Structure 1
């Protein structure tokens, strides 16, 4: 059996994001580095921010399934560039 580890990253709040962006020019594009594997940001894939909106998510364990939970979600897409078409 493979070794496992409990991955529990510190999820940022809107306040932390606002603070991090405080000195960024208004017209600066935002890139997102997505970890290749949990916790490994050295080998990240780079995406660009293309949208943000509230998204309803499944309630966690022990929470009322009748109460929808909403999280604000940032949406990313591949960076602009030339890509090969998937020929499947």
Structure 2
């Protein structure tokens, strides 16, 4: 069926320093974890706030979802971590 992202919800995970979001392959949820270093553009990484990361995520959503789709096609896993390496 392929991965889809019908839900625009995302959340910041301070403990793991990532933004979490979900996609769906049919009825199966796939959890994505986007490392904050991917979103560190503009501000000094260590000074960026939760709001900064979520705002940058929203502004970059199309590219992030494209990379997430490609990562899912390669991994076929229900949990995928995305890092700068995936955006190269």
Q: Bigger radius of gyration, 1 or 2? A: 1
Greater RCO (Cα-Cα under 8 Å, separation 6 or more): 2
Could you say whether these structures have the same fold, taking a TM-score greater than 0.5 normalized by the shorter chain as the test?
no
When normalised by structure 1's length, the TM-score is 0.26
When normalised by structure 2's length, the TM-score is 0.26
